[in-house]
Structure 1
């Protein structure tokens, strides 16, 4: 039986100092990248876009300020100030300019912007008017698609306003051959190009762009080598002087040349991870199976006596700190959906190799230990589980979960591997999957997955069924008939399906328009140099250079939809307790609880628009009066009594999440209304669409834009997250909730599913608590659940942290497919986490 190094390792004092420096100040916006990018683009007008991208990347790396922070052993930073963000105007910029004066004070993920930075950015932004990927993507979308986006039916904001991310590159290859090896590969491919080839122009320029980008990265590392050497010469602390000289030697070697030891491998990995996020503003650049491609260097050094577990652990901890140094500024609305400054850098441990053998090793345990030491949200640690997973690893992970950090998330090989095979991956590639971003599986180094391509709110089509496709006086969906005249539940359910199918077609149109825009305006040669088979095919990942190509938008609200449709089916069509007209009126009246702020604002805007159309000007005071009148619409006492009775009837009905097989089977069918229609579509890169069932944290802000629903959910309140039951409705314990969720078809949702559970800390106390917890995971996975993650924190603690944030600066919680510092989240998102059902083992 294989033995693992499972002992706890003391935390180096260095880590505390690095962590303290990291959070000393608010993150800020910096202007250097935007200025340098713009300078380069102004100098390269008329050249092929792939050439312009490479030259801009090289210009940035040659001139952007570099810094070595105090106490660092691993170096390389995209910003001078810790946890700060550059701007990426080639993707979008108007939102930055619009929020110059509010970004510092907004509730979710604030950033400080100095007056000097505002001026510098504003000057750079002038060049980009009409030239961004978002501008081009908008021009490619149909009017119906733009209307659907405007009315919050779906939100394709991830790539609409940002760069491409959600990828894992071939880190292991860079460690083995360095970028000099990639350059030689590209030069060899270029030498085979014939000017008479049909694709010579595109192929040759792409390969030249790869070469230029990789050479720029080598030059950038050499800048750090020179800086470290210069600082070492001036340093009076002999220990730090030695460290700086070592850093200088490392950066002279990697990532240009192959890594020769574990320390160099760590530094090489970091340059790749860092610079991918300087080339593009895409997030979820995920390290993947870190414990696999790093292990040979660790094992070799350990055997040769060049490293100890303790010294290797310190290097890992330093990388974990650096992963939290990277940051990304989003617009205010997106910041609500991705709250917590998260970059979703998912790092996997455990699992199988391509031959189906377990590959857990000492680094698997040390990665878990690093998350315990650093105790920060990044990396978003994941553990692959199958029937060959050593119990020691599962217990080690459970010990981390018990701390309350929300890490790791757990993934089921027995579901994910066959689901990826069904999408065209070879068995060997499927076995070697890693997790991207929140919960999305893919084969590293071969995939352009376009995961998280859109948020699709499954409740919005239901609203449009009741309104015959209208939203605030605008035809957004299709007319599926008068619900008050429908005679059977099947007729109503089919209307929902038709509405969904139409809206999905618009979502696909949006995603494909954005996809084309990125290929035309922002191909990424540096990223493409590390994805198979871009060099062989002679084109970037944005043009279809990857082996596997997908687009993965995600739907959410399954639990609400299940409970809502079940309520209509039971109360209207089976028990005849009320008519569909009465149900419709109850929804319009928000069950007597008044109108949500979002809905009142929308209706007020529509009234003002109608008045303006007939030439009537409305003052701000009049608008406020209209809003207050709309918002204050109240029900009579008699009507309120009826609505209270209706809510009681709904509350007494069975709910998804309580191990009621009939309801759970129905939930499976409800999920199919989204997952199955999506499968028929293809993307411009030659790949297919695949569904995910997770919301990140958008179930809260998008719930604020959704009216009342037949499950008794009030207008403006959060939608259920992922495939989890509605908060507070899973009342029969954690195993019952697991049983319900496992009955969904997780295989068809190959872009990932997300299941949140919350436990009281007492549930995981002691050895028995850990054993119970591990057994729960294995039992759930035996029933073919795909993913599960946990918050282990009491409701009382969260409430107190909300009231007294100054006492809980280090409180990390699981939000959705990521963890975040609780005090950095918006109040609405904090409330959503607090309301999740709190379980104990019985």
Structure 2
């Protein structure tokens, strides 16, 4: 079934390429893991940077390659479309435990053959005790591990996987190729003196960069040879000529600088794909594609070497290829990143270093490609400022109303000053791009460690009510018996103390993981394209980048604002209820289901029975059992002694309704997370900076959270990003936007995320588009940083949930990314359905 009436039909080639992606379930392949392990066994005892380069080279020289039917841009990390390799150097125990359940899990299932299970089990024997996750654990404080076990926060992204979250200097590869980079590195190497204090590390790093770049050239030449052989055997003259041109391109780039737009497209793709072969990190983002690709397009158009139509088709092909990349996550993380997300953010529009708008033809064509392909990748974004051409925003709005959830909109007037405050130069700040979901940085100069952890701001409030204890263990700090607190200031201060303590543990977790990546998985290939690694003679992981940050994100701002405001009003201002009564209500989930402790107790009983019956148990099975027990116990129609309290809570004003007192309170609550983080440094010499966005972790982590004083029931989703709690914004999108704009988006310089959902009728016709653009500009004029939209009716989503086979191509905005709706877990689908549906401005 089509997305909606605004969908633009794909060309036959693009349709064929898209169809290939979805012919079967994505598959877990073993080739990279086998080749990596072979190399590591041969390089025992050598410096880690050398081992990494040798392994990367061994992989690229031997991994199977393929050219798929109808492709114009080639290079695939896997034999099967939309499949994935695995990365045992980061972690492997979880996948081995999930071999028999990964195909049937609800979120992001993968097929894995029995042969590949056998191969990987054998490979994994080598990696026991050698992974970054194991080393990171050994560095963590006991209190940190306990906090993670009690779901205060999770640093799962980099704990079990590569880091990613970077934009490299694509333009450098396009200009000089890897031969040019190799020459630059050789010049630096010639300056090294054997007696230098850093000679050993510096020289090994530089030699490793050379070996990695040479391996990429070999890899591209393998594709040139394959295309040439396929052309010799091809009876279709049109396809034969295409293959011959592919062979010519791959023989030229990325070894040398690109001479045409077609060569630039192919060179770009090799860089983008191979970064994700070196490491399993996601959110490797193309950045300002319309800027670094434009000179090649402009020259070819002006010389008549290419038509705009063919250039558009090449971009469409790249858009399809971005959806061919994939990765497998553990079951728990898959719930938090549901939709096979890789978060490859590509942004258009905005300013140059001198503050001049640089919108060009490719800015419009990038939006057009997303219309043609209608898939989640790339995660298209657009920069907005007072110099943005109106028609670019109208074009973007046309894409928004297709319902695909793209693009996301970003405000130059907030983001540029926030980056300046973090130490970027004005020129660099003006040239920012977005990484992954919503994270701004300067491309080619930054190791931002964005998305470094999920911090649940609601859990420390639970610790206030329990005096720091959870399940009988001291997890936070003892802040006293909550029922004896006599003022709101005393209560709020207790929350701040719990937050500060938990934030310190989060920093310890992230720093431990940071050091583990530095010591066990430096990335010489990635480092060849980030300044100033070559000059400094150190990898990105060792602090080679010019700008180094760590950006963990907090979520639940709306819940915390509404909860604390309700306590202030009901307990201390109006004295309608006591803290003892509130504590009792929370412990008993307002009489609307089982308590968190009781759900966990029953879950353990069910799991034990399943194990006794011979069932395989993994994290997802536990989560599903827990969610089923919790949800089955909920009955919103059930009367209880807590109904009067819930009625009082419901009458307290909520964040998201343009009420000054509440909104200012929310701003202060957000500061409780964002301000303390600024005081900490990471092992790469950089600063911590806060983000306020959840990806989609507000749903699974909400399932691990008890009832909150805003009336939210235990086990239900926590508010996403800086958006109001679902259903609590009662006065339309403008009122909600006015509230969100009152937060300090500048201090949350790792990004904020604001979701809104509109009925499709709101954006109908030119009038609807104009009103929509005015709404965005109005929000940005008030210093909002980011906004994104779902334009799809609640009825459509419910129907898609009931009949998924009819809605296989329905794409929606989840959090900082879009995904196929039917690929999401049921709980995440419900969260999107329950978001407030706006029907006018």
TM tier, shorter chain? over 0.9
Q: Distance in 2 between matches of 1:141 and 1:120?
A: 32
Residue 627 of structure 1 and its aligned partner are, at CA, apart by 10
Shift in Å, 1:601: 4.3
Q: Would the aligned equivalents of 1:9 and 1:310 in 2 still touch at CA under 8 Å?
A: no
1:742–1:780 contact (8 Å) kept in structure 2:
yes
Q: Secondary structure at the match of 1:700?
A: coil
Distance 2:202 2:27 in 1: 39
- 1:290–1:636 CA distance, 2 compared to 1 (3 A): closer
Q: CA deviation at 1:605?
A: 7.7
- How many angstroms apart in 1 are the aligned matches of 2:110 and 2:632? 38
Partner residue in 2 for 1:483 = 482
Question: In 1, Cα distance between the equivalents of 2:12 and 2:807?
Answer: 22
Residue in structure 2 matched with residue 615 of structure 1 by the alignment: none
Query: Equivalent residues in 2 for 1:744-823 (5 A)?
Result: 744-823=743-822
Superposed CA offset, 1:153-189 (max 9, x none)? 0000000000120000000111000000110011000
Asked whether the 8 Å contact 2:585–2:591 carries over to 1, the reply is yes
CA distance in 2, matches of 1:549, 1:604: 45
What whole-Å deviation, never above 9, does each CA across 1:703-733 have from its counterpart, x for those lacking one?
0000000000000000000000000000100
- Secondary structure in 2 matching 1:103: coil
Q: Distance in 2 between matches of 1:279 and 1:426?
A: 30
| Cα distance in 2, alignment partners of residues 633 and 134 from structure 1 | 36
The residue number in structure 2 matching 1:276 is 275
Q: Compared with structure 1, are the counterparts of its residues 212 and 822 closer, same or farther at alpha carbon in structure 2 (3 Å cutoff)?
A: same
Give the drift of 1:575.
1.1
Where 1:54 maps in the other structure, the secondary structure is: helix
1:547 positional shift:
0.2
Q: Is the 8 A contact 2:351 2:358 kept in 1?
A: yes
Q: Deviations over 1:571-599 (max 9, x none)?
A: 11111111100100000000001215x64
**Aligned partners of 1:422 and 1:734: how far apart in 2?**
30
Alpha carbons 2:811, 2:818 under 8 Å: kept: yes
Residue 70 (structure 1) aligns with: 69
Deviation at 1:474, TM superposition (A): 1.1
1:654-669, aligned counterparts within 5 Å?
Answer: 654-669=653-668
- Give the SS at the match of 2:598: helix
In 1, Cα distance between equivalents of 2:208 and 2:631: 61
Matching residue of 1:179:
178
Q: Which residue of 2 aligns with 1:527?
A: 526
**1-side partners of 2:488 and 2:339: how far apart?**
42
**Match in the other structure for 1:413:** 412
| Aligned-partner SS, 2:641 | helix
Could you say which residue in structure 1 is the equivalent of 2:427? 428
Look up the match of 2:188: 189
Structure 2: distance between partners of 1:280 and 1:632: 38
Match of 1:129 in 2: 128
Q: Is the 8 A contact 2:560 2:669 kept in 1?
A: yes
- Is 2:449 the counterpart of 1:447? no
SS in 2 for 1:325: coil
Deviations 1:263-294 (A, max 9, x none): 00000000000000000000000000000000
Whole-angstrom distance in 1 between the partners of 2:632 and 2:316? 56
Relative to structure 1, the CA distance from residue 237 to residue 635 in structure 2 (aligned partners, 3 Å threshold; closer, same or farther) is closer
TM-score norm. by structure 2 comes to 0.96
- Contact kept, 8 Å, 1:472 with 1:602, in 2: the verdict is no
- 1:103-124: CA deviations, max 9, x gaps? 0000000000000000011111
What is the aligned partner in structure 1 of residue 98 from structure 2? 99
Q: TM-score if structure 1 supplies the norm length?
A: 0.96
> For residues 632 and 781 of structure 1, do their structure 2 counterparts lie closer, same or farther at Cα, with a shift above 3 Å needed?
closer
Find the counterpart in structure 1 of residue 323 from structure 2. 324
Q: 1:605 to 1:620 in 2, by over 3 A?
A: farther
Q: Which residue of 1 aligns with 2:618?
A: none
Does structure 1 conserve the Cα–Cα contact (< 8 Å) formed by 2:701 and 2:717?
yes
Root-mean-square deviation over aligned CA pairs:
2.2
Distance in 2 (alpha carbons) for counterparts of 1:716 and 1:633: 11
Query: How far 1:620 moved relative to its partner?
Result: 9.0
Q: How does 1:148-187 map to 2 (within 5 A)?
A: 148-187=147-186
Give distance in 1, aligned partners of 2:285 and 2:351: 18
Report the equivalent of 2:617.
Answer: none
Equivalent in the alignment of 1:298: 297
Cα deviation 1:131-156 (Å, max 9, x = unaligned): 00000000000000000011110000
Unaligned runs of 5+ in 1: 1-7, 613-617
CA contact (8 A) 2:452 2:510 kept: yes
Cα–Cα, structure 1 residues 604 and 479, in superposed 2: closer, same or farther, change >3 Å? farther
Q: Is the aligned partner of 1:311 residue 2:310? A: yes
Q: Distance in 1 between matches of 2:89 and 2:631?
A: 44
Paired position in structure 1 for 2:600:
602
Residues 9 and 369 in structure 1, CA contact (< 8 A), matched pair in contact too: no
Distance in 2 separating the partners of 1:209 and 1:459:
45
Supply the distance in 2 between the matched residues of 1:653 and 1:602 (Cα, whole angstroms). Answer: 31
Counterpart contact for 2:594–2:634, Cα < 8 Å? no
The answer (yes or no) to whether the contact 1:473–1:606 under 8 Å persists in 2 is no
Structure-2 separation of matches of 1:740 and 1:170: 38
| Cα pair 2:319 2:377 within 8 Å, conserved | yes
What is the Cα deviation at residue 459 of structure 1?
0.1
Q: Which residue of 2 aligns with 1:267?
A: 266
Quick one: distance in 2 between partners of 1:299 and 1:634? 62
8 Å Cα contact 2:590/2:640 also seen in 1: no
Give the secondary-structure state (helix, strand or coil) at the position aligned to 1:642.
coil
1:473 aligns with 2:485: no
Give the equivalent residue in structure 2 for 1:4. none
Classify the secondary structure of the residue corresponding to 1:381. strand
Equivalent residues in 2 for 1:481-630, closer than 5 Å: 481-595=480-594, 599-603=597-601
Cα 1:482–1:804 shift into 2, 3 Å: same
Q: Give the deviation of 1:12 after TM superposition.
A: 2.8
SS state at 2:762 partner: helix
Q: Any conservation in 1 of the 2:432–2:441 contact (CA below 8 Å)?
A: yes
Please list every run of 5 or more consecutive structure 2 residues that lacks an aligned counterpart in the other structure: 1-6, 615-621
Structure 2 match to 1:698: 697
Q: Please give the alpha-carbon distance, in whole angstroms, between the structure 1 residues aligned to 2:599 and 2:62.
A: 47
Match for residue 199 of structure 1? 198
Distance 1:631 1:364 in 2: 47
Distance in 1 (alpha carbons) for counterparts of 2:156 and 2:56: 24
**Per-residue deviation, 1:642:** 3.0
Tell me, yes or no, if structure 1 residue 394 matches structure 2 residue 364. no
Assess, with a 3 A threshold, how the Cα gap between structure 1 residues 38 and 738 changes in structure 2: closer, same or farther.
same
Change (3 A) 1:557 1:483: same
- Structure 1: how far apart are the matches of 2:131 and 2:447? 21
Match of 2:3 in 1: none
Deviations 1:62-107 (A, max 9, x none): 0000000000000000000000010100000001100000000000
Change in CA separation of 1:631 and 1:393 when aligned onto 2, cut-off 3 Å: closer
Hey, what does 1:3 align to over in structure 2?
A: none
Counterparts of 1:133 and 1:161 in 2: how far apart (Å)?
8
CA distance in 1, matches of 2:668, 2:369: 42
| SS at 2:440 equivalent | strand
Measure, in 2, the Cα distance between the counterparts of 1:246 and 1:270: 16
Tell me the SS of whatever aligns to 1:353: coil
Q: What secondary structure sits across from 2:642 in the alignment? A: helix
The offset of 1:603, in angstroms, is 3.9
The alpha carbon displacement at 1:199 in A equals: 0.5
